[in-house]
Structure 1
Amino acid sequence: MFLDHFLDREIGVGCARVLTTAMAVSLACSHAAAELSPDFVSVTSGKVQGEQVDGVLSFKGIPYAAPPVGALRWRAPQAPKAWKDVLQARSFAPDCMQKVDRNSRNVGIPLILTEPSEDCLYLNIWRPAASTAKPLPVMVWFYGGGFSVGGTSPILFQGDSFARQGVVVVSFNYRLGRFGFFAHPALTKSNPGEPKANYAFLDQIAALKWVRKNIAAFGGDPANVTIFGESAGGVAVNAMMVSPLAKGLFQKAIVQSGPTHGLNIRELHRDQPGRQSLEKFGLAFATSKGIEGPGADALAKLRALPAEALIDLSTGLPGTVDESRTPWGGPTMDGKILPVVKGDYFKAGKFAPVSLIIGANSDDVTASTGVYEDQTIDYTLARFGDHKAEALRSYDPDGTGDPRVIRHKVSADDHMIEPGRFVATETANRGAKVYRYYFSYIPEALQTRWTYGAPHGGELAFAFDVLRLNYGPAWSDQDLRVAKTMNTYWANFAKTGNPNGPGLPEWPLYKPSSDQVLQFMRNGSAAAAADPLKPRLDLAEKVSEPRRVAEPSPESTSLPKWPLFRPVKN
């Protein structure tokens, strides 16, 4: 029974399976009786009151921007309206508008526990209930979900364990899908001078600005902010390192399985080979809704569409297939939020080299790599060109000939592991302190289920140390020790910029010359060693290098591409 409960929670359901409102989740999933905090906190828009549970004071559902609805749809976030009464910040506000699959079995995208809404720009805060003499370090969480789903309500993302480590944790919602990334000629003409297209990134910047202005009232130090995120959230952390508009809003970063190659694939107005402008996507979507022309009337009609009309990302697409991992649009080089560059931002040095933890999981693959499609070994290895025989030796050292195992390894390296090493190298080469990791640990109850290794998102419950809260009693003592270790490394890094501390295995600085990486290993231990995947990653780097330079070679365009990802219709 415990194992069944564990597996149920592992795929993102559990006690909140049928709960839909934030209040219901707050009442049904609290693991202890809540004691209302006597403390009132004043922020720029009014006063808030949270609740205290087991030594942690939390505040949920605080607006950091005005609702982005009506005339504010596809606008930069605006200041929230002030309130007079004390805001009872005790339950999650709605997560942002998205298509929800309550039967999802994706461990990397935990199920949101609210009914999503276009009115969603709210944040949540956790801190130790006891007062402290000095300001506390701050961690700001960026959730993943392919920029199309996700939110802050999942139990997996609760900040209690970090708060008990002496950290103030902030999570916030940002716009998704067409709400978060959209362009249209009529929209381009409106509000001249205002940033366009990347509204999700503008939300993230607005949340960081709110933190800078208000976090001291919660005991946090606005001069010691660490941003951290996983998957699309990790990509967003990379975007904050790149964006001139985020400069100075944080001092450290943690990227969990967040590749950089989704940031510079599209432009706002101009088509590129195999990639259409974001305006083309907007025009195609408008046409699918019977809205024509580039005038203000078209924009008014687009803003008048019900929110539900925008959430199906598999429809309203341009007729020409887009060769990208966000074939519905996604992040765009708009010239203000993301500068227009040729090649990779990190390769070109167009980023803020802050102190960094970065890494990925042993089986870190997603739907966008096409890993579950049946392909031959020859197809998978063809991307290595003249190095195909060397790649076969590296990816199948035991000569098993299993095409699915080989494809998992190649996909994980291409999509997550090698891009992480690349960012680590470029950041370290510019003088920043960098720490690399691999997460290979598999919970004891999932040894026969995670057969290829730790999957995409498999580290989340460990980083947040929420195994008991989120998954119940199926977890072993060893699982809990791994979670405590990972959570402590993250908290130490937020405090000092160095993850090391008493009782922890030494985690050395990453230097490209020595290539040291900390491994969370399958036996439950953590240890640093020279990168065991170096031969594989060196080959993956050779394939990836052409897309990172300003002018790719003609040969690089002939290499096989991964099958395109299309959102699955419910």
Structure 2
Amino acid sequence: MNHRSFSLALWIAVSAVALAQVGCAYKAGDAVDAGRSTAITVGTENGSIKGLAKGDAEVFLGLPFAAPPMGSLRWAPPERAASWQGVRDGTVAGPSCPQMGGSPVIGRTENEDCLYLNVYRPSGTASGASLPVLVYVHGGANTVGGAVQIDGARMAAENRVVVVAVNHRLGALGFLNHPALAQQAKDRLAGNYALLDIKAALEWVQRNSGAFGGNPNKVTLGGTSSGGTNVCALLVNAGTAGLIHAAIISSDDCLRDVDTVAQSEARAAAFAAKLGCADPVGVATCLRSKSAGELVTAGGAWNPHVDPKGFHRKPAIDAIAAGEWRPVPVLMGSMREEGRGSGVAFANFTAQAYAAWVSRLVGVDRAPALLAAYPADKYAGPYALPYVIGDFITDSGMRGLGGCTNLALARSFARQTPTYYYQFEDPKPPAPSTPPGYEFRASHGLDTPFTWPDSPHMAQSSSRFTEAQWQLSKEMTRYWAAFAKNFNPEVPGQAAWPRLIADGSLMSLRPGGRSQASPVAQFSELHKCALWEKMPWVLDRGER
């Protein structure tokens, strides 16, 4: 199971209720506010597109940034989209890339014609307005999700920025690194197609954002969870020079969820065998003969991979630490209890099983110190062990989400570039109702509705916001937009967000106007980073 599996389950649970309450706007094939909107037309390099007004924003959906990755373009680098005649309908979202579904908002899809993006801008924006551009990559463990998770209309309208949400290939279609496919490729490389898709979207932004009033010289690339993983990879890639001028990384440490060549090829071999494509002579032909539905059903966990001769040549965290990247300003952070939701899977654990789990992760020699710091009886009640395991997962950073490895990454950035660090600290964000009585607190993924409250994926959560939480949501969107505008998140009338310098301060994001700068030392003490700094990185995901 991928370490982000809880966030997927949470997203599915939230989405199910969202559909019942707010409908399925932004799903492929649906128009946006068609009954009360005015058409707007913009000319792109491929042709004209008609969008719609949504409140004080203008929305353009389903823009192709690359050719459909089908036929000979399956498992190949993206190519430029073809031009069209007439005016394209930009009131209908393009399909999300093939995925198993589970979320009723996207559902199962087998349509490989999926390399689309959505553009949001303030109403009345003229071509050449030179507004900053925020390009955002969705989360979903690189196996589910889509641009429809990001509704940028509110952020665009209230903060005068252009927001671009992008699809990319998922699962095996986005990451399959099989040697047989590499042998067929012009560059003799396979895998990392999703990273190439995002790069192609950034290149499209360079060529076309000006027509929508955006500034191609002020592009911030942001992503959450697996979206953050992909941002990390692109940030250190030589081929993205001039495409990224700042970065936002939420709930990722630029370390985990990235395979070696051997790991990715082992995944590919197991996947091919599962599909009955084990014959070395005809494996590529066999794989290409499978429908998207068959590939999706075969499932699997999928990651980018590092290949010294390929697109992603060095682990991002190593490249950043070594200064082998083009430094740009960074805003990054995580949740106070990132791993609390992952603790649900350990609801029937015993203290003995917990001790064995810790020993397996860190070794019998180191386990006593960690069991003393995270005792089985730290909490009381029916979820005592899930809660302490959640703390262990959070603080160790073992699933790449937050805690001490997230802080280590922030410090590495801060030594080289303006860096702004945060921790999301709302103790009661809207969360699933199961298991009964479980206190999720600030678990992984529960911050996303605060940044993008109007997406159908997030609207059920935001519909439960208190007044204090709405205030936090508005503060966060302003901070994010200010960073895209000025490469620092200073907002008049909001708590000053200091640049991270050595062990200075981070921003504690709290509801009700209580956000404030807090000492990094408090974060380090909370997450027991002095202890974890003495330990090797825990790279085992700790799945049961």
Where on the TM-score scale, by shorter chain, does this alignment land: which range? Answer: 0.7 to 0.9
| Partners of 1:510 and 1:112 in 2: CA distance | 38
Aligned residues: 510
| Partners of 2:167 and 2:77 in 1: CA distance | 15
- Counterparts of residues 346-495 of structure 1 (less than 5 Å): 346-365=320-339, 372=346, 374=349, 376=351, 377-379=354-356, 381-382=358-359, 383=361, 391=370, 394-395=373-374, 399-400=378-379, 402-413=384-395, 414=397, 415=399, 416-417=401-402, 418-430=404-416, 432-443=417-428, 451-466=439-454, 470-471=459-460, 473-495=463-485
1:287 aligns with: 273
The change in CA–CA distance for 1:136 and 1:256 in structure 2 (over 3 A counts) is: same
- Counterparts of residues 75-154 of structure 1 (less than 5 Å): 75-102=76-103, 111-112=105-106, 115-131=109-125, 134-154=129-149
The change in CA–CA distance for 1:506 and 1:83 in structure 2 (over 3 A counts) is: same
Q: Which amino acid aligns with 2:246?
A: K
Match of 1:534 among 510, 520, 524: 524
Q: Which amino acid aligns with 1:351?
A: W
On the 8 A contact 2:503/2:519 being kept in 1, the answer is no
Structure 2 residue matching 1:344: 3-state secondary structure: helix
Q: 1:284-306 deviations in whole A, cap 9, x for unaligned?
A: 333333334444x5323321211
- Counterparts of residues 3-82 of structure 1 (less than 5 Å): 11-14=14-17, 16=19, 22=27, 25-26=30-31, 30=33, 33-37=35-39, 39-82=40-83
Q: Which amino acid aligns with 1:11?
A: V
| Partners of 1:390 and 1:523 in 2: CA distance | 38
| Partners of 2:366 and 2:269 in 1: CA distance | 42
Greater alpha carbon shift after TM alignment, 62-71 vs 463-472:
463-472
- Counterparts of residues 173-252 of structure 1 (less than 5 Å): 173-193=167-187, 195-252=189-246
| Partners of 1:447 and 1:65 in 2: CA distance | 37
Give the Å deviation of 1:403.
Answer: 2.7
On the 8 A contact 2:99/2:109 being kept in 1, the answer is no
The answer on 1:162 being equivalent to 2:143 is no
On the 8 A contact 1:371/1:408 being kept in 2, the answer is no
Greater alpha carbon shift after TM alignment, 301-310 vs 281-290:
281-290
Q: Which runs of 5+ in 1 are unaligned?
A: 1-6, 104-110, 316-327, 548-560, 566-570
Match of 1:500 among 486, 490, 500: 490
Match of 2:290 among 285, 305, 317: 305
On the 8 A contact 2:245/2:328 being kept in 1, the answer is yes
Structure 2 residue matching 1:137: 3-state secondary structure: strand
Structure 1 residue matching 2:320: 3-state secondary structure: coil
Give the Å deviation of 1:280.
Answer: 3.2
1:510 aligns with: 500
Give the Å deviation of 1:454.
Answer: 1.1
2:6 aligns with: none
Structure 1 residue matching 2:132: 3-state secondary structure: strand
The change in CA–CA distance for 1:520 and 1:204 in structure 2 (over 3 A counts) is: same
| Partners of 2:25 and 2:480 in 1: CA distance | 31
Give the Å deviation of 1:407.
Answer: 1.0
| Partners of 1:204 and 1:542 in 2: CA distance | 37
Q: Which amino acid aligns with 2:529?
A: L
1:550 aligns with: none
The change in CA–CA distance for 1:504 and 1:389 in structure 2 (over 3 A counts) is: farther
On the 8 A contact 1:441/1:524 being kept in 2, the answer is no
The change in CA–CA distance for 1:348 and 1:368 in structure 2 (over 3 A counts) is: farther
| Partners of 1:9 and 1:503 in 2: CA distance | 36
Give the Å deviation of 1:119.
Answer: 1.0
On the 8 A contact 1:113/1:153 being kept in 2, the answer is no
Percent identity for Structure 1 against Structure 2: 28
Give the Å deviation of 1:539.
Answer: 2.3
Give the Å deviation of 1:364.
Answer: 1.1
Q: Which amino acid aligns with 1:506?
A: A
On the 8 A contact 2:357/2:542 being kept in 1, the answer is no
The answer on 1:333 being equivalent to 2:306 is yes
| Partners of 1:246 and 1:461 in 2: CA distance | 29
On the 8 A contact 1:16/1:25 being kept in 2, the answer is no
| Partners of 1:102 and 1:500 in 2: CA distance | 36
On the 8 A contact 1:427/1:434 being kept in 2, the answer is yes
On the 8 A contact 1:143/1:229 being kept in 2, the answer is yes
1:558 aligns with: none
On the 8 A contact 1:465/1:484 being kept in 2, the answer is no
| Partners of 1:292 and 1:404 in 2: CA distance | 40
RMSD over aligned CA atoms reads 3.2
Q: Which runs of 5+ in 2 are unaligned?
A: 1-9
On the 8 A contact 2:306/2:314 being kept in 1, the answer is yes
| Partners of 1:211 and 1:342 in 2: CA distance | 24
Structure 2 residue matching 1:474: 3-state secondary structure: coil
Q: Which amino acid aligns with 1:498?
A: N
On the 8 A contact 2:426/2:510 being kept in 1, the answer is yes
| Partners of 1:450 and 1:460 in 2: CA distance | 20
1:319 aligns with: none
Give the Å deviation of 1:86.
Answer: 0.9
